[in-house]
Amino acid sequence: MTALILHGGAGARRERNYDAEVAHMRQVVEAMRPRLDAGESALDVATAAVVMLEDSGLYVAGKGASPNLAGAYELDASLMDGSTKRAGSVAALQGFRNPVVAARAVMERTPHRLLAGPGAERFARELGFEARELLTPQAQEIYEAWLADASSVGPQNIDPLLEEHHDTVGSLALDADGVLAGACSTSGMRFKTPGRVGDSPIPGHGLWVHPEFGACVATGSGELMMGSSTAFLAVEEMRRGATTAAALRTAIERTAEEQVLGPKDQV
């Protein structure tokens, strides 16, 4: 048996039409199915799926990512290979087309797990990764609307949907050898403070893969996930014998408790 799970991120709005995203997700699944059937590794397929999501311009990751408060992109991505439990991440990476590919290179070509900021950028440049302007007209329009709101009503009173919307993308794959792998990518919260890093590149918070018991890739406010190690917790519950549904319920409840405790005020 092989399997592939994708997500296009939290922050969906009831009034918005997501037909394009749903159709694109189907295309990704259809593109990845034969690769899994042909025996390709879970890590290759999880990475390739996230590359397609990053390249689509439909999600808040890669092309179409949302800028930070200063109008710049700082992208986070990670992946994890269940066969080795190795992981790689980049954080606050600026100017590259596929942060998830840079994260994979961190895992495979360095002794480290996470490279951030200018060091990550230098690493990606040295490896010849494709630099790209990621700003789409839609992202630019939203950023300008936010700036206009912020200057007319003040940053405390801007439309919370504009402020909080984020669409991290994630994938989990199970290959024909029974190996699990996962990957995720995001520009994080819209209009975040420059330098802010969320859960996605931090092992155990945004992504966790256990070779035998399961895998979890998270989406939502990284500030909450980082208060409860959401992905690790979900997989750990499975390791302790919980069903997938029960494990996810526990992880979500713990993450929601973090919201009740009120980290938002400190963000």
Torsion of CA 249, 254, 258, 261, to 10 degrees: 110
CB-wise, 41 or 200, nearer to ligand GLY? 200
Decide if residue 234 touches ligand GLY (CB under 6 A): no
**Phi-psi category of 191—alpha, beta or left, where left has phi over 0 and alpha has psi -120 to 50?**
left
Decide if residue 68 touches ligand GLY (CB under 6 A): no
Decide if residue 220 touches ligand GLY (CB under 6 A): yes
Q: How far is the CB of 34 from ligand GLY (least distance, A)?
A: 30
Q: How far is the CB of 169 from ligand GLY (least distance, A)?
A: 10
Distance of CA 171 to the CA centre of its chain: 9
Decide if residue 81 touches ligand GLY (CB under 6 A): no
Record the tokens describing residue 164, joined without a space.
Answer: 């909080």
The secondary structure of 199-213, three-state, reads CCCCECCCEEEECCC
CB-wise, 121 or 199, nearer to ligand GLY? 199
Determine contact, residues 132/97, Cβ cutoff 8 Å. Answer: yes
Q: How far is the CB of 9 from ligand GLY (least distance, A)?
A: 8
Decide if residue 258 touches ligand GLY (CB under 6 A): no
Decide if residue 182 touches ligand GLY (CB under 6 A): no
Q: Is the dihedral of CA 106, 108, 110, 112 positive or negative?
A: positive
Active site residues: 168
Query: Which of 221, 228, 229, 255: binder of ligand GLY (CB under 6 A)?
Result: 221
Cβ within 8 Å of residue 161, ≥6 positions away: 13
Give how many residues touch ligand GLY by CB under 6 A: 13
Decide if residue 2 touches ligand GLY (CB under 6 A): no
Cβ within 8 Å of residue 171, ≥6 positions away: 4, 5, 6, 7, 45, 46, 49, 50, 53, 182, 183, 184, 217
Decide if residue 255 touches ligand GLY (CB under 6 A): no
Q: How far is the CB of 108 from ligand GLY (least distance, A)?
A: 24
CB-wise, 219 or 229, nearer to ligand GLY? 219
Count H helices, E strands: the chain?
A: 9, 8
Decide if residue 188 touches ligand GLY (CB under 6 A): yes
Which residue ranges make up the site for ligand GLY (CB under 6 A)?
A: 166, 168, 186, 188-189, 198-200, 206, 219-222
